[in-house]
């Protein structure tokens, strides 16, 4: 009997797997996959739950992989939801609940497609599912842990599809063949506290910090490339913690986030920020410290056989040929790109992370059909 992806989605939503809690979601998937003949291994690390599942021989000539996550962001106030956020209610042709869109439905669709495929047409090769519980968190012990474990065990995907939502408004309109890089810089300006009536006896860190932020924000990073939109820099916070209007604070802090294309790297942008900070420090006498966390570098999977195979399957099932895009935020594809060629295709993402998150039942079945067609074409090639 075919595995119903909509029913599996609803059951997964009923697992309260808010990062970093597993909530029973991976346990549920493991039971379904093992019943279909998949070899499953829990690859938990530092309290994060992950699941590796493989049908077929280890080290097979061809191993198609799916990647996704079962962890979800917090639902907020449950009273604001039409249906309880972990109820998995099916109503009005939709499945409601936290994770319905991002991305328990995607995981359910590729799990159902993989189960039916290996049962009905066992391929010459392997099908791998790498599912994490740490995508919405720090992402240090999720897909990274799975890939580390796979390397130690000699497991390998030859190609991988990440099932994140990729379509802005219509099923089939967009797939991702790359992502921008992402980094956060935290800046601390250290001066000397003093009375606002005697500013010459203090060293105010705020003008120095504001000068630096203005220079960074006004800088034109680039105009984009053939594969990427222009890079962006967003100031996200400025803090002093000063509640007194007659006191010059000793310290001020700020943070910014940069989404960057392939004209830059995390290292080059870090060097630029540090150089600008050093200039302002020299001009003002205010000590400025910069700390940077690079969440991922930009990457692209070049258009070709693999992207065409996925696009052809999407077009056949959705009547839309997806455009290739590198827009949006980050995903775990940023880790997989060092392991094998990777693309992303999934559902319409309009309600992800929102109150009353939901997914169309018909779209979940459609997505399963896309994934099934991709598997059939991949192993027939």
> Is residue 328 scored above 90 in pLDDT?
no
Of the three residues 296, 324, 351, the one that is the final residue of a domain is 296
> Is residue 381 scored above 90 in pLDDT?
no
Contact 45, 152 (CB under 8 A): no
Q: How confident is the model at residue 345 (pLDDT cuts 50, 70, 90)?
A: very high
CA distances from 160 to 99, 214, 314, 378 (A): 22, 41, 16, 11
Name the residue with tokens 């410290």.
289
Judge if 174 and 189 occupy the same domain: no
**Per-residue b or e along 99-132, where b marks 16 or more CB atoms closer than 10 Å to that residue's CB:** bbbbbbbbbbbbbbbbbbbbeeeebebbbbbbbb
- Report pLDDT for 355: 97
Q: Is 344 a catalytic residue?
A: no
CA distances from 315 to 77, 81, 192, 325 (A): 39, 34, 63, 16
Judge if 68 and 131 occupy the same domain: yes
> Is residue 365 scored above 90 in pLDDT?
yes
As a whole number, mean pLDDT of residues 303-330 equals: 96
As a whole number, mean pLDDT of residues 228-245 equals: 95
Judge if 246 and 320 occupy the same domain: no
Judge if 11 and 96 occupy the same domain: yes
Q: How confident is the model at residue 314 (pLDDT cuts 50, 70, 90)?
A: very high
Judge if 18 and 165 occupy the same domain: yes
Average predicted confidence (pLDDT) for the chain: 97
For residues 281 and 212, what is the distance between their CA atoms, to the nearest angstrom? Answer: 9
Judge if 286 and 168 occupy the same domain: no
- Residues 135, 136, 141, 155: which is the catalytic one? 135
CATH number of the domain at 207, please.
3.30.70.360
Judge if 100 and 71 occupy the same domain: yes
CA distances from 227 to 117, 178, 252, 347 (A): 34, 9, 38, 22
pLDDT in tens, 3-19: 999 999 999 999 999 99
**Residues 6+ away with beta carbon under 8 Å from 196:** 245, 246, 247, 248
Judge if 70 and 198 occupy the same domain: no
User: Cα angle at 153 between 151 and 157, to 5 degrees?
Assistant: 55
Judge if 231 and 290 occupy the same domain: yes
As a whole number, mean pLDDT of residues 179-191 equals: 97
Of the three residues 270, 296, 322, the one that is the final residue of a domain is 296
Judge if 154 and 199 occupy the same domain: no
Distance, CA of 208 to chain centre: 35
Judge if 200 and 53 occupy the same domain: no
Contact 48, 133 (CB under 8 A): yes
DSSP codes, 340-352: S-EEE---B-TTT
Of the three residues 272, 296, 320, the one that is the final residue of a domain is 296
> Is residue 329 scored above 90 in pLDDT?
no
Domain hosting 158: range is 5-179+299-380
CATH number of the domain at 13, please.
3.40.630.10
Contact 53, 39 (CB under 8 A): yes
Q: Is 71 a catalytic residue?
A: yes
- Report pLDDT for 276: 98
Strand segments (E) across the chain = 39-42, 50-55, 63-69, 90-91, 94-96, 126-132, 159-162, 174-176, 178-179, 181-190, 194-195, 232-239, 247-248, 251-260, 287-296, 299-300, 323-325, 342-344, 358-360
- Residues 22, 32, 71, 297: which is the catalytic one? 71
- Cα distance from N-terminal residue to C-terminal residue, the chain: 27
What is the reported pTM? Answer: 0.91
pLDDT in tens, 125-154: 999 999 999 999 889 999 999 999 999 999
Judge if 86 and 18 occupy the same domain: yes
Percentage, residues of the chain above pLDDT 70: 100
- Count of domains forming the chain: 2
- Structure token pair of residue 327: 């827009």
Contact 175, 320 (CB under 8 A): no
For residues 104 and 359, what is the distance between their CA atoms, to the nearest angstrom? Answer: 10
What backbone phi and psi angles, to 5 degrees, belong to 292? -130, 140
Q: How confident is the model at residue 295 (pLDDT cuts 50, 70, 90)?
A: very high
- Report pLDDT for 1: 84
Q: How confident is the model at residue 75 (pLDDT cuts 50, 70, 90)?
A: very high
What is the helix, strand, coil percentage profile of the chain, to 5? Answer: 35, 25, 40
pLDDT in tens, 153-164: 999 999 999 999
pLDDT in tens, 280-294: 999 999 999 999 999
> Is residue 254 scored above 90 in pLDDT?
yes
For residues 37 and 43, what is the distance between their CA atoms, to the nearest angstrom? Answer: 19
As a whole number, mean pLDDT of residues 12-29 equals: 97
């Amino acid at each position: 009997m075919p595995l119903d992806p909509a029913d599996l989605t609803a059951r997964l939503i009923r697992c309260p797997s808010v990062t970093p809690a597993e909530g029973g979601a991976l346990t549920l998937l493991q039971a379904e996959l093992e019943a279909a003949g998949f070899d499953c291994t829990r690859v938990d690390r530092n309290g994060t739950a992950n699941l590796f599942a493989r049908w077929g021989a280890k080290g097979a000539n061809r191993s198609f992989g799916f990647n996704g996550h079962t962890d979800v962001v917090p639902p907020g106030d449950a009273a604001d939801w039409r249906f309880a956020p972990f109820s998995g209610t099916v109503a009005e042709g939709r499945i409601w609940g936290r994770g319905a869109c991002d991305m328990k439905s995607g995981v359910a669709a590729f799990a159902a497609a993989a189960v039916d495929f290996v049962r009905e047409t066992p391929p010459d090769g392997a099908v791998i599912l790498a599912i994490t519980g740490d995508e919405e968190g720090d992402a240090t012990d999720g897909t990274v842990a799975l890939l580390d474990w796979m390397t130690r065990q000699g497991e390998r995907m030859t190609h991988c599809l990440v099932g994140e939502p990729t379509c802005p408004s219509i099923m089939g309109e967009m797939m991702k063949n790359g992502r921008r890089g992402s980094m956060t810089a935290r800046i601390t300006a250290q001066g000397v506290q003093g009375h606002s009536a005697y500013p010459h006896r203090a060293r105010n860190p705020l003008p120095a910090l504001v000068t630096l932020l203005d220079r960074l924000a006004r800088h034109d990073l680039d105009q984009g490339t053939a594969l990427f939109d222009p890079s962006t820099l967003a100031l996200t916070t400025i803090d002093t913690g000063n509640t007194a209007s007659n006191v010059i604070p000793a310290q001020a802090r700020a943070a910014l986030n940069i989404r960057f294309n392939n004209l830059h790297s995390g290292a080059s942008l870090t060097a630029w920020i540090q150089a600008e900070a050093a200039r302002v420090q020299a001009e003002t006498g205010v000590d400025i410290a910069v700390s940077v966390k690079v969440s991922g570098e930009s990457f692209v999977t070049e258009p070709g056989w693999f992207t065409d195979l996925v696009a052809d399957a999407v077009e056949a099932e959705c009547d839309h040929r997806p455009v290739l895009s590198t827009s949006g935020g980050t995903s775990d594809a940023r880790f997989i790109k060092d392991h094998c060629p990777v693309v992303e295709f999934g559902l319409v993402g309009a309600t992800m992370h929102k109150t009353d998150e939901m997914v169309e039942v018909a779209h979940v079945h459609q997505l399963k059909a896309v994934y099934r067609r991709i598997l059939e074409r991949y192993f027939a090639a």
